[in-house]
Structure 1
Amino acid sequence: MTLPALLEQARRAWPDRCALIDADSGRRYGFPELVDEVFAFSRRLLAACDTRPGDRIALLGDATPDFLFADYGVMSAGRVRVSLDPALDPAEQLAQLRDAGAKVLLYCPSHADRVQALRPDLAACGVEARPLDSLADAAGSVPPDAPPPVCCEPDWVAALNYTGGTTGLPKAVVHTHGSYCAALHNIIAARAPWTGDRMLNVRPLWPIAAISLLAHLLQGGTLILGAHFEPRRFLDLVARYRPTCTSLVPTHLVRILRVLSGERAGLDSLSCIEIGAAAMPPELFEQAVAAFGPVFSVIYGLTEAPWTCYRPPPAASELLADPAGTLGLVGPTTDRADIAIGDGQAPLPPGTVGEVLIRGAHVMRGYWNQPGLTAAVLDDGWFHTGDLGCLDDQGRLRIQGRAKAIIRTGGKSVQPAEVEQVLCSHPSILEAAVVGIADPEWGEIVAAAVVARPGTHPGGDELAAFCRERLSAHKRPKRLVFMDALPRSHYGKVLTRKIQDAIAARQD
Structure 2
Amino acid sequence: MSEDPRREVQEMNAAVMPLRFDSAEPSVAWILGAEALPGHIDPDGVALRWTGHERTYAQLRARALGLAASLRAEGLEPGDRVVGHLLNRGETFELYFACAYAGLTFVSLNWRLTEHEIETIFDDCQPRRAFTQEQVAEPLAAVAARRDVAVTLLADDAPGEQYERLAATAPAAGEIDRAEPHLILYTSGTTGRPKGVMLGHDNILSFAFQQATMYPGLDASAVTLVIAPTFNTAGINETSIPTFLVGGTVALHPSGGWTPERMAALIDEWRVTHSIVFPSMMEPLLEADRRSQLGFASLRFVLTGGENCPPATMARFRERWPDAELAIGYGATESGVVTLIRGAEIARHPGSCGRVAPGMAVRLLDPEGEPVEPGEVGELWVAGGSIVRGYWNAPELTAATLRDGWLHSGDLARIGEDGHLYLEGRTKDLIISKGQNIYPAEIENVLSEHPDLLEWTVVGLADEEWGEAVCAAVVAKPGAEVEAGDVVAFVQERLASYKKPRHVVFLDELPRNPGKKVLKDEVARIAGDRLAAESVR
For the 8 Å contact 1:197–1:243, the answer to whether it is kept is no
Matches within 5 A, 1:344-355: 344-348=368-372, 350-355=374-379
What is the 5 A alignment of 1:116-265? 116=141, 119=142, 121-132=143-154, 133=160, 134-138=162-166, 141-142=169-170, 150-152=176-178, 156-164=180-188, 169-192=193-216, 194-203=218-227, 204-208=229-233, 209-212=235-238, 213-228=240-255, 229-260=258-289
Once residues 496 and 166 of structure 1 are traced to their aligned partners in structure 2, the CA distance between those partners, rounded to angstroms, is 13
Structure 2 residue corresponding to 1:330, chosen from 350, 353, 374 = 353
Query: Residues 431 and 169 of structure 1: is their aligned pair in 2 closer, same or farther, counting only changes over 3 Å?
Result: farther
Q: CA RMSD in A?
A: 3.1
Q: Tell me, in whole angstroms, the C-alpha distance in 2 between the residues paired with 1:148 and 1:303.
A: 33
Q: How far did residue 57 of structure 1 move?
A: 1.8
Cα pair 1:387 1:400 within 8 Å, conserved:
yes
Give the secondary-structure state (helix, strand or coil) at the position aligned to 2:518. Answer: coil
Superposed CA deviations along residues 224-272 of structure 1, whole A, max 9, x for unmatched, are: 3343444323222222332222222123333333333688785332111
1:39–1:76 contact (8 Å) kept in structure 2: yes
| CA-CA distance at 1:193 after TM superposition | 5.4
Query: Structure 1 residues 63 and 450 mapped into 2: Cα distance closer, same or farther (>3 Å)?
Result: same
Q: Structure 1's 108 and 230: CA in aligned 2 closer, same or farther, altered over 3 A? A: farther
Inter-CA distance 322–97: structure 2 relative to 1 (3 Å threshold): same
Q: Among 360, 364, 375, which residue is 1:341 paired with?
A: 364
Distance of 1:219 and 1:359 partners within structure 2: 25
Question: Which residue does the alignment assign to 2:125?
Answer: 100
Instruction: Tell me if structure 2 keeps the 8 A contact 1:198–1:222.
Output: yes
Match of 2:11 in 1: none
After TM superposition, give the deviation of residue 38 of structure 1 in Å. 1.4
Say whether residues 1:32 and 2:32 are aligned partners: no
- Structure 2 CA distance for aligned equivalents of residues 245 and 464 of structure 1: 38
Q: 1 CA distance for matches of 2:116 and 2:226?
A: 26
Does the 8 A contact of 2:46 with 2:54 survive in 1?
A: no
Match of 1:286 among 295, 310, 315: 315
Give the structure 2 partner of residue 110 of structure 1.
Answer: 135
State the one-letter code of the partner of 1:12: P
Q: How far apart, CA to CA, are the structure 1 residues paired with 2:494 and 2:311?
A: 20
- Which ranges of structure 2 fall in alignment gaps of 5 or more residues? 1-25, 155-159
The CA distance in 1 between the partners of 2:33 and 2:429, in whole Å, is 44
**Would the alpha carbon gap of residues 88 and 291 (structure 1) be closer, same or farther in structure 2, given more than 3 Å must change?**
farther
Match of 2:334 in 1: 304
Q: 1:46 aligns with which of 62, 72, 87?
A: 72
TM-score by length of 1: 0.86
Once residues 419 and 316 of structure 1 are traced to their aligned partners in structure 2, the CA distance between those partners, rounded to angstroms, is 24
Match of 2:412 in 1: 388
Amino acid across the alignment from 2:301: C
Amino acid at match of 1:309: T
Alpha-carbon spacing, 1:491–1:382, altered in 2? closer, same or farther (3 Å): same
Q: In structure 2, how many angstroms separate the alpha carbons of the residues matched to 1:33 and 1:424? A: 46
1:503 correspondence with 2:522: no
Q: Decide which moves more: 353-362 or 285-294.
A: 285-294
Distance 2:219 2:281 in 1: 26
Match of 2:80 among 38, 51, 55: 55
Q: Which residue of 2 aligns with 1:77?
A: 102
Q: 2:382 — aligned with what?
A: 358
1:64–1:225 CA contact under 8 A, matched in 2: yes
- Alpha carbons of structure 1 residues 168 and 258: separation in structure 2 relative to 1, 3 Å: farther
Verify the 8 A CA contact 2:223 2:271 in the aligned structure 1.
no
Cα distance change, pair 454–495 in 1 and its aligned pair in 2 (3 A)? same
Letter in 2 for 1:240: E
- The question of whether the paired residues in 1 share the 8 Å contact of 2:310 and 2:448 is answered with no
- Relative to structure 1, the CA distance from residue 89 to residue 498 in structure 2 (aligned partners, 3 Å threshold; closer, same or farther) is farther
Alignment of 1:317-466 (within 5 A): 317-320=344-347, 322-323=349-350, 328-343=351-366, 344-348=368-372, 350-392=374-416, 395-424=419-448, 426-438=450-462, 443-464=467-488
Q: Please state how far the C-alpha of 1:8 moved relative to its aligned partner.
A: 0.6
Q: CA deviation at 1:451?
A: 1.7
Stretches of structure 1 that go unaligned for 5 or more consecutive residues are none
Tell me what 1:4 maps to: 29
Percent identity of the aligned residues? 28
Equivalent residue of 1:296, what SS? strand
1:416 and 1:491 map into 2 onto residues whose CA distance is 20
CA contact (8 A) 2:69 2:169 kept: no
